Amino acid sequence: MGVILISSKTGKPYDAGSKWISPKARKAIYERDNHCCLYCGSSKGLTLDHVIARHNGGELRAASNLITACVSCNSEKQDLTVRQYAAFRRGKYGESQAGLIPRIVAAIGHRSF
């Protein structure tokens, strides 16, 4: 039988998600990002997003290349860079880029995206 990880914040089991990342690593990233989408702040339907897309050389399992994103933002971002997606959100939703980039830098510890 597998191990069931429980969120310290919600008390609910984590969705194991796909098999490309361990449930323990997924849990650590969700906790690092305070169980919120770093793009819009939602806490519903959370997934992991590659900051640098894999086809652009981004690492598959590196925590420094993964952030928490809701399904809606992750689907909307697709293969855009973070900066391209921030510009897209600014145009579509009138959001400032000022908060988005620093949130992601704070989470992953670098600006190389």
Write down the domain spans for the chain.
Answer: 23-108
Nearest to 28 by CA among 62, 56, 58, 76: 62
Domain 23-108 has what CATH class?
Answer: mainly alpha
pLDDT for residue 110 is more than 50:
yes
**Amino acid 5: pLDDT:** 56
Tokens of 44: 């519903």
**Amino acid 1: pLDDT:** 42
Tokens of 11: 């008390």
pLDDT, tens digit (0-9, with 9 covering 90-100), for 27-57: 999 999 999 999 999 999 999 999 998 888 8
Nearest to 59 by CA among 23, 112, 16: 112
Q: How many helices (H) and strands (E) does the chain have?
A: 4, 2
Tokens of 87: 């510009």
Burial class (CB in 10 A: 0-12, 13-18, 19+), 90: middle
